[in-house]
């Protein structure tokens, strides 16, 4: 009899833990989304847009602050907002859907540099201070970035290749956080 109640208690605790609203939640973060603004983007936009919107639906939580850049001949901010309501999410999706690539070059360096500078700015930060930077590049869009002075910002990055385009997660300022954590661990 005790074994039966014990099993029931474990199943109940497991169920409460797994389906609790606290399970799997995280603090809000800053999301930097840098999208290729060159004419190369136009040919792959129909592939990129649904993938990107689905990806954002999976990762965004209430309170995340999102900034979307168009990396065209010069980088410019297309959207900035905090994801508090469904209308905030819809505005973000619309800014992505309405984006066009018309420029002859992609200024990923300017957008990455701007995103890097915004990390330390209190008015553009969420309480956690963490950032997630995702760059979307047409196949030929990274040439100037890789040969320029901002190439070091890609030291900590992960690239996912698709047909005609790339998604690159960039770890901005991750080296500083790793050094601090290592120093705290050693002491």
10-61: pLDDT as tens digits: 554 454 444 444 445 788 989 999 998 888 888 899 999 999 999 999 999 9
- 178 has a pLDDT exceeding 70: no
Distance CA 155, CA 124 (A): 24
Confidence of residue 101 (pLDDT cuts 50, 70, 90): confident
- Looking at residue 114, its pLDDT comes to 86
Alpha carbon dihedral 44, 137, 37, 82, in 10-degree steps, equals: 100
* Residue-wise pLDDT tens digits, 91-100: 999 999 999 8
Contact 28, 128 (CB under 8 A): yes
Structure tokens at 6: 């014990």
- Looking at residue 179, its pLDDT comes to 65
- 174 has a pLDDT exceeding 60: yes
* Residue-wise pLDDT tens digits, 119-172: 655 555 555 567 889 999 886 656 555 555 655 666 667 888 899 898 888 877
Total-model pTM: 0.74
- Looking at residue 142, its pLDDT comes to 60
- % of the chain with per-residue pLDDT over 70: 67
Could you give all domains of the chain from N- to C-terminal order, each with its CATH number? Answer: 30-186 (3.40.50)
- Section 85-107 average pLDDT: 90
Count of Cβ atoms closer than 10 Å to residue 41 Cβ: 26
| Phi, psi for 105 (deg, rounded to 5) | -135, 170
Neighbour order of strands in the sheet with 131-138: 75-82, 65-71, 30-36, 131-138, 165-170, 157-162
pLDDT: is 82 or 116 the higher one? 82
- Looking at residue 136, its pLDDT comes to 92
Q: What is the DSSP letter of 73?
A: S
């Amino acid at each position: 009899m005790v074994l039966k109640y014990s099993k029931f208690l474990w199943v109940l605790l497991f169920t409460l833990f797994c389906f609790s609203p606290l399970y799997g939640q995280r603090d809000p973060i800053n999301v930097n989304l840098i999208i290729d603004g060159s004419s190369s983007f136009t040919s792959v936009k129909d592939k990129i847009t649904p993938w990107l919107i689905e990806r954002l639906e999976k990762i965004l939580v209430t309170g995340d602050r999102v900034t979307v850049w168009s990396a065209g001949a010069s980088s410019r901010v297309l959207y900035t907002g905090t994801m508090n309501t469904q209308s905030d999410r819809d505005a973000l999706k619309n800014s992505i859907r309405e984006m066009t690539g018309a420029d002859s070059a992609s200024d990923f360096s300017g957008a990455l540099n701007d995103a890097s500078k915004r990390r330390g700015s209190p008015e553009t930060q969420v309480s956690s201070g963490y950032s997630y930077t995702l760059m979307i590049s047409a196949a030929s869009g990274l040439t100037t970035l890789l040969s320029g002075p901002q190439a070091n910002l890609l030291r900590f990055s992960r690239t996912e290749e698709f047909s005609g385009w790339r998604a690159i997660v960039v770890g901005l300022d991750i080296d500083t956080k790793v050094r601090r954590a290592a120093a705290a661990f050693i002491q």
